[in-house]
Amino acid sequence: MKKALLIIVMAAVAAAVVFWGRPKADKPEPVQKETRFLMDTYVSIQVPGDPQAIKTIEKAFDRMEEVDRKFNVLNPESPLYRFNHDNAPIADPEILALLATALEISEESGGAFDVTVYPLVDLWGFFRGAPAVPASPDIAACLKKVGWRQLRIENGVLAKPNDGVKIDLGAIAKGYAVGEAVKVLKGAGVTSALIDAGGDIFAIGELRGRPWKVGIRNPRGEGVMGALDVSDLTIVTSGDYERFFEKDGVRYHHILDPASGYPAGGLMSVTVICDDATRADGLSTALFVLGPEKGMELVERLDGVEAIMVTKDQKILTSSGLKGAMDAAGAPMAENPFVAIGR
């Protein structure tokens, strides 16, 4: 039997990004909060109560910045950069551990999640800031370099199977960084905090005795379309609205299907809810590529993982652990009472 998560669903949801607390009308407790720009997004950490907590928040940010430097494929100092550009083997245990988790998700998702997509992401121009649709023979040639099964960690080292292979842990590193920040906060005795890393959120404990309320962004348009009450859970969203361009009325985004070489169709966003930020990040990307049917099949096989999807035709799908509380599931977004934009 698949184990369900303890989640109170307040309304139909789809892409977690925004959150809000419930300030007490009479005497609001102070909240320590800091925001930094890292991993290509604004990250905020807030801890209610103790003013001293700001020091712990800074330590958590420092740790996230360390992770960012190590895993950023565009940083020439990163072992990943040297692997990709100079064919230098990787022996860094932290990178190999995250790679091992990534490979597990590749296995689980039948290759929908694949860290060897780097050459494809590069060909589409998503690393360079001026993306464009590549010629199809170029995509076909690029696909020959892609394939996670080529990667093998032997005796604590990842060596290149051939020079063409390049890796990108971008689809899982942000979740890992969030998980590391959680460790720093908890290690310092913090029992209530919210980390929001633009689409990757972790709620530690509760806010003033009640679960954290995490708002959910509509993948098309501004505002909040619903909310989840969560405690000690991560809510991670992958969407086609994060990085994309349009050509001849078609939207091309940054999550690529390693089977076709093109952006994955089928979904606008996937939100994963579980207690492990690293896995949630990897899985949200994997499910996005798998699409609604195969994606939900995978979620139903995994313990302690729930998901919410918004399909290309704007239907909200939820995994079985969220059913019942989700009476809007399956309804077209336009007719969904919970999908009141900007309410």
Q: Which is nearer to Mg ion, 113 or 338 (CB)?
A: 113
Strands (E) located in 1-65: 8-9, 15-20, 31-38, 41-48
Q: Which does 33 bind (CB under 5 to 8 A by kind): Mg ion, ligand ADP, none?
A: none
**How far is C-alpha 38 from the chain's CA centre?**
15
To the nearest whole angstrom, how small is the minimum distance from the Cβ of residue 131 to ligand ADP? 10
Q: Which is nearer to ligand ADP, 48 or 258 (CB)?
A: 258
To the nearest whole angstrom, how small is the minimum distance from the Cβ of residue 282 to ligand ADP? 8
Cα–Cα distance between 298 and 76 in angstroms, integer?
36
Coil/strand/helix, residue 297: helix
Q: Which is nearer to Mg ion, 45 or 178 (CB)?
A: 178
Q: Which is nearer to Mg ion, 284 or 314 (CB)?
A: 284
Q: What would you report as the CA-atom Rg of the chain, rounded to the nearest whole angstrom?
A: 20
- Residue pair 101/172 in contact by the 8 Å Cβ criterion: yes
Q: Which is nearer to ligand ADP, 192 or 285 (CB)?
A: 285
To the nearest whole angstrom, how small is the minimum distance from the Cβ of residue 79 to Mg ion? 21
Q: Which residue type sits at 139?
A: I
Q: Which is nearer to ligand ADP, 59 or 220 (CB)?
A: 220
Q: Which residues bind ligand ADP (CB under 6 A)?
A: 113-115, 117, 121, 126, 168, 170-171, 174, 199, 238, 242-243, 254-256, 258, 281, 284-285, 289
Q: Which is nearer to ligand ADP, 14 or 115 (CB)?
A: 115
To the nearest whole angstrom, how small is the minimum distance from the Cβ of residue 16 to ligand ADP? 11
String of contacts with Mg ion for each residue 127-166, x by CB under 5 A: ----------------------------------------
Q: Which residues contact 12 (CB under 8 A, 6 or more apart)?
A: 225, 226, 316, 318, 326, 327, 328, 329, 331, 336, 338, 339
To the nearest whole angstrom, how small is the minimum distance from the Cβ of residue 321 to ligand ADP? 22
Cα–Cα distance between 15 and 45 in angstroms, integer?
19
Coil/strand/helix, residue 247: strand
Coil/strand/helix, residue 104: helix
- Residue pair 300/319 in contact by the 8 Å Cβ criterion: yes
String of contacts with Mg ion for each residue 282-301, x by CB under 5 A: --xx----------------
Binding status of residue 281 toward Mg ion by CB under 5 A: yes
To the nearest whole angstrom, how small is the minimum distance from the Cβ of residue 170 to ligand ADP? 4
To the nearest whole angstrom, how small is the minimum distance from the Cβ of residue 242 to Mg ion? 10
Q: Provide the 10 A C-beta neighbour count for residue 69.
A: 12
- Residue pair 7/233 in contact by the 8 Å Cβ criterion: yes
What distance, in Å, lies between the first and last C-alpha atoms of the chain? 38
- Which position's Cβ is nearest ligand ADP? 171
Buried b / exposed e along 188-224 (16+ C-beta atoms within 10 A): eebebbbbbbbbbbbbbbbbeeebbbbbbbbbbeeeb
**Which of 171, 194, 216, 326 is close enough to bind Mg ion by CB under 5 A?**
171
Site residues for Mg ion per CB under 5 A: 171, 281, 284-285
